[in-house]
Amino acid sequence: MHTVTAYRSDLSQFWQFLTLFDSPEPKDWKSTIIRSWMSEMLTDGMSPKTVHRKISALRTLIKQLRKQGILEKDPMAKMTLPKIPKKIILDIPAADLQQMFRNFPWNETANGERDCLLLLLFYTTGMRLSELINLKKSDIDFSRKNITVLGKRNKQRIVPMHPELCVALEQYKSDGSYTGYLFTLENGTKLYPMLVYRIVTKYLQLFSSALKTSPHVLRHSFATHLLNNGADLLAIKDLLGHTSLSATQVYTKNSFEKLKLVHKLHPRE
């Protein structure tokens, strides 16, 4: 979102660019002039995201000028903006997670059993933070070894239980006898998001040098590690609860980008 300062700064840069032309009045603005400004910004190394912000400021101004009757036509009506590249999703290396689950003294740590189970659920099911917080004991089916997850827009999905997760769930003694939630505070109410975030970050930072450590990164790790080990993309889509395949395809890009980085290490120049 634009701040007033950023808005003024972006428009000021556009006014400065207009001095290169003979007729900088709004009525003389053409799509070619705006495209030239956009091209200059990109040539100067400005990121597509920043260019989008500056063009957005100009678009807002043009809208105001048209309302005031100063401009009849919108010079940006058919303009195509540069694509903003999607960020590569960084996963927690599988080796780091294996070391964490195997080597940390969970049984000797306060709430260690709960924390270990919480991390296992994120990593072996790929569920979202909100889904884990609202998970109830009745959602766990030990006979079928699966978990019913209530996702976005109250859409349910069935996620299989990893054998290690199944054992951890059977051994876990939940305090949520009254509310039915799997994870609760001492008063029986469900955990709150910031607490879960702190728990996950605490352990991941102990065992991994990854730049980002959060429940969402564990969800990414779940999907990426499955894909790297040959899992079908459609199956991963269903496990994550995505409504469209395009949301899941980002993991394909993630894996390919990592392969390219590895390939750069090839000794042949």
pLDDT tens digit string along 89-144? 678 999 999 999 999 999 999 999 999 999 999 999 999 999 999 999 999 999 99
162 belongs to the catalytic site: no
Half-sphere exposure of 217 (CA within 13 A, CB side): 20
Q: How many domains, in total, are found in the chain? A: 2
Q: What are the pLDDT digits (tens) for 55-66? A: 999 999 999 999
* Structural domain includes residue 72: no
Question: Has 49 been annotated as catalytic?
Answer: no
**3: phi then psi, degrees, rounded to nearest 5:** -90, 165
Please confirm, yes or no, whether 263 is among the known catalytic residues: no
Strand partners, 156: 150
Catalytic-residue membership of 8: no
Q: Which domain-ending residue is among 67, 86, 120?
A: 67
- 110 and 12 part of one domain: no
Alpha carbons 14 and 49: distance in angstroms, whole number: 17
Q: What is the pTM of this model?
A: 0.66
Is residue 73 in some structural domain? no
pLDDT of residue 263: 45
Q: What is the pLDDT of residue 264?
A: 54
The answer to the question of residue 255 being in a domain is yes
55 and 118: one domain? no
Is 152 designated active site?
yes
Give residue 79's pLDDT band: very low, low, confident or very high (50, 70, 90): confident
CATH code at 149? 1.10.443.10
Mean pLDDT: which of 20-24, 198-202, 245-249 is highest?
A: 198-202
Active-site choice (145, 216, 253, 258): 216
Are 52 and 155 in a shared domain?
Answer: no
| Structural domain range at position 49 | 4-67
Assess whether 35 and 154 both reside in one domain: no
Q: From the candidates 7, 54, 114, 128, give the one annotated as an active-site residue.
A: 128
**Same domain assignment for residues 148 and 250:** yes
Strands (E), the chain: 140-141, 146-150, 156-160
